[in-house]
Amino acid sequence: MDDHKDTAENSQGGEDQQDTTSHQHEHGDLDEAVAESDEEGVEQELLEDEAHHTAAGEMASHEQHEHAGHEGDGHGHDSHEGHGEGHGGMHEGHEQMFRRRFFVSTLLSIPVLLYSEMLQEWLGFSVPAFPGSEWINPVFAVIVFAYGGVPFLKMAVPELKDRSPGMMTLISMAISVAFVYSLASVVFPTQSAFFWELVTLIDIMLLGHWIEMRSVRRASSAVDELAKLMPDTAERITDDGDTEEVPVSELSEGDLVLVRPGASVPADGTVEEGDSDVNESMITGESKPVSKEPGDEVIGGTINGDGSLRVRVGATGEETTLAGIMRLVEEAQQSKSKTQVLADRAAGWLFYVALGAAVVTGIAWTVAVSFDVTVIERVVTVLVIACPHALGLAIPLVVAINTSLAAQNGMLVRDRIAMEDARNLDAIIFDKTGTLTEGEHGVVDMATVNGVDEDDALGLAAAVESDSEHMIARAIREAADERDLTTPDATAFEAIKGRGVRANVDGNEVYVGGPNLLTQLDSEIPDHLQRFADEAGQNAQTVVYLVRDGELIAAFAMADVIREESFRVVDALHDLGIEVAMLTGDSQDVANAVADELGIGTVFAEVLPEDKDEKVQELQDQGKLVGMVGDGVNDAPALTRADVGIAIGSGTDVAVQSADVILVQNNPMDVVRLVKLSKASYRKMQENIVWAAGYNVFAIPLAAGVLAPIGILLSPAVGALLMSLSTVIVAINAQLLRRVDLSIPELPGGTPATDAQPAD
Q: Which residues are catalytic?
A: 431
- Which strands form 551-562's sheet, in the order they lie side by side? 437-448, 551-562, 542-548, 508-513, 500-505, 490-496
Rounded CA-CA distance 648/362 in Å is 59
Q: Where does 373-478 show beta strands of DSSP type E?
A: 411-413, 427-431, 437-448
* Beta bridge mates, 582: 430, 603
Please report how the helices 150-161 and 28-68 are oriented relative to each other, as an axis angle in degrees rounded to 10: 30
428 and 580 Cβ atoms separated by less than 8 Å: yes
CA–chain centroid gap for 605, Å, is 25
CA distance 173 to 176: 5
**Secondary structure E strands in 214-337:** 233-237, 243-247, 256-259, 268-273, 276-279, 290-292, 297-298, 303-304, 309-315
CB 245 within 8 A of CB 8: no
Q: What is the β-pairing status of strands 427-431 and 626-630? A: parallel
DSSP states of 592-614 as a string? HHHHHHHT--EEE-S--HHHHHH
Residue 718 phi, psi (nearest 5): -65, -40
Report the DSSP beta bridge partners of residue 34. Answer: none
Strand order, beta sheet including 276-279: 290-292, 276-279, 303-304
The residues facing 583 across adjacent strands are 431, 604
Rounded to the nearest angstrom, the gap between the alpha carbon of residue 462 and the centroid of all alpha carbons in its chain is 41
> What is the three-class DSSP state of 583?
strand
> Is residue 756 within 8 Å of 742, Cβ to Cβ?
yes
Choose among 541, 143, 737: nearest CA to 533.
541
Alpha-carbon distance of 206 to 99, in angstroms, equals 8
Secondary structure (DSSP) of 658-697: H-SEEETT--TTHHHHHHHHHHHHHHHHHHHHHHHHHHHH
Of 291, 294, 258, 260, the residue nearest 274 (C-alpha): 294
Taking the C-alpha atoms of residue 354 and residue 374, their distance in angstroms, rounded to an integer, is 18
Q: How far is CA 116 from CA 345, 502, 728, in A?
A: 34, 89, 21
- In a 13 Å sphere around the CA of 352, the CA atoms on its Cβ side amount to 10
CA dist., res. 580 & res. 644, Å (int) = 14
Which among 402, 419, 469, 481 is positioned nearest to 627, based on CA atoms?
419
In the chain, the N- to C-terminal Cα span, in Å, equals 58
